[in-house]
Structure 1
Amino acid sequence: MMFRVAVALVLFGAIITAFDIGHSEELAKRKVGGPNMVCYQHPLDIVFILDASSSIWAQNFTKAIAFVNSFIAPYEIGPRKVRVAIETYADVVYTQDVINFNDFLTRESLQKRIAGLKWHHGSRTETGMGIAYMTDNIMPKSRPDLPKICIVITDGKSQDSEKTAAEAERARDAGIEMFAIGVSRAVNASELEAIAGDPDRVIIVETYSELEAIKDKLSGKTCKKIPTTTPPPTTTTTPPPTTPAAEECGMDNPTDIYYVFDPAYLGMERVNWVTQFITHTLSAQEFLHMRVGVISGSCPLDAGFNLKEYGSVADVEERLRGYDKPRLTKLIGSLTSAYKRREGGRPNARKVAVIFIGGKIDQVAVIRNAQAAREAGVDVYFADAGNADPGFLDALNEIGFNLARAGRGARRQALAFVEEICGRY
């Protein structure tokens, strides 16, 4: 009896948990024999579903497709052996990049095509849509009388968790065993379990670099048992084609970045939002070669005064009126000189500033000073810390890049900033 396995990999992310495809009797393990181990497995139909949304970043998507190529390297690819299909998705399913079962029937041609898959950095993570496409358009082309398996790989929570769970249930009702691989510290473990239908069919790792460590555990479950009395045929495993290395953003083009905000203008809650934004960017490996600074309205500008500093009520009132005036426009104006060598600027580095907007502000002054910064060679980005005028943000697009288009959350806008910065190298 021939066995069919359709594997749809959905990479999500976090901590490694138990993962068992559950065909230990029908599907055997990889032949032990050095670095060029070869699988002699029952025929399989494997589908990989890869998250290609903006939060993945190009470097991580490169690691994901390298993992897929490494995963299939031990298999005998062919019309009567293992067949592989691949789907990428984000806010849509990228049908132009779908690889169907019969598109590539040699390992070499298949791996070459996989290595060339494109990261589309979509704005949403529509995992439910991706699963539905697999169920309705890819899996019907699999071979009959084989077990069907779908493995989903993503980095986080989908846009519509209820739809994701419903589509995964529909797939399972159609006889497809669902598996989920999550990749990140922010992964939604309960959603992964809703996809898989069983926590034992979930794997969570913190980074895409850890995917290689789980490869043998997955591939070992799909290899055919070799009779001890009959030696296996002699075959060789062709190494997967080289996937372009994931370059660290800014390695060859260092960048000096200033984060510009006025705490008195934003308020404590939105200042916390700003610190979350900055923390998210600094935690990205891509920022290893960046140099960062902060321009804020904090002390001494907001400091008080001692008992003998002013000798008249009029002088005190004038000083107090200064607390009511947002200093953001003045802070933006300082960008024209902030990148000098004495301030830590590097002559060969790109100049970048993130300006945090929120609430009422002198819009004309902001535009004027931001334009001056741009004319001084500074690439300007605008983040919405919570209550910025949408029309004003749209107007700022003429000067810089509106990060608020990625969503309201600090993490979303921070990821959009990293993506835009790194996409320019």
Structure 2
Amino acid sequence: MNCAFTIQFSWTLAALLLSLVLVESQRTSFPNRRDCEVVDLVFILDRSWSLRSPANFQKELDFVSQVVSVLDFENSRVSVITFSDDADLNIRFSDYYTLADFQRAVRALPWVGGNTYTHKAIELMMTEENQRSRDRAGITSIGVIVTDGGSTDPYRLEDVVRQVHDKRIEMYAIGVGDEVNQKELEMLASSYDHVYLLKNVNALSQIQDKLAARFCRGTPAPSTQAPPQDICRSEPADIFFLVDASSSLLNQENFAKELQFVVRIVDNIIVGARPDDSRVGVITFSTDATLEFGLSRHTSNRAVKDAILALNFTTGDTFTHKAIDIMYDQFNKFMRRSTRVKKIGFVITDGQSTDPNSLRASIDTVKALGIEIYAVGCCEVSGAGDFDSQELEMMASDRSKVAQVDNLDKLNEITFKLNLKTCT
């Protein structure tokens, strides 16, 4: 064989292999499905006449099939609703427990045609959500609506959407084509960063990896830009805020001061769905404790802060241990496996626990799970007595994680002691 030809062939082969490696390296890399967050995900798909053809509807179905491929189907659940003149629950949460079976079923759904009665699909989602919340309490509920036009009955839709947001369902809204109603999409979505505007149905394939990354916590969202080299970021953490809502706070105004304190801490971290991002959940407590939203519910600082500031004052006694127990349960079920991710609980209270013995037992349990506890105490606004300094120290992981003020207005003075912000 000619020597020059052999050398040229070798260089050509090497270049071809190198190009294949580069292409492969640029693809989005998702972790094992078992590393993804457990979620309950419902897709709401427009099947109206404006899609123009079964082929375009099929592109919606292919999009769904690809997005769910990152989920752990042994634990997560997916349902599908399609809508036009009416809405149908085509796939229930309980119908399929393997990815292959689900993908086969979703790709076989028929295009129907008709008008765009979006509110009927949302109402059907709420019916399914009411059943789901009873069966799978504590698991994040996510809705994704894909539509190519404005709703035929926008007034009915507006009424229904209020119920969705009251239920704290994390909603994404995807508009396809030039006939979508952007304001309507923004109303449907949980926040502005949950809205996608696409030129046509072909563009769905361009966002499927990005959307999948937001559902699969711990998955890097694809990016076409290199990350900046000198930036301030927070260390990744899963953080629960336990906020006192008992009667001793007296009113919503004082409760709001606690919420503003929490928001200031959130400003010092980066909330998101990537491995280096933090997640935030909130529990309020008085006579009972309520999981206001879990770690996976909101994936942006704005969405978290909006949800916090919307919380309502409840009144009651100070059963702090009930909030601690909910936090333990949430961390036990949904914490990330990476040792890089800190597990943190902030307890913010204006008075001594109504049941200190149960509180001590609950605190011992969460500390055994490796949760780092901060305890923040403030005066009892009602004048019935101050917080218990010894109880704060008992709750906290160490004395450096105890903060005390004698006035709610002074909470902002201690925010800087508790933030996680680091610059690299």
TM-score by length of 1: 0.43
Structure having the higher Rg: 1
Structure scoring higher RCO (CA < 8 A, sep ≥ 6) equals 1
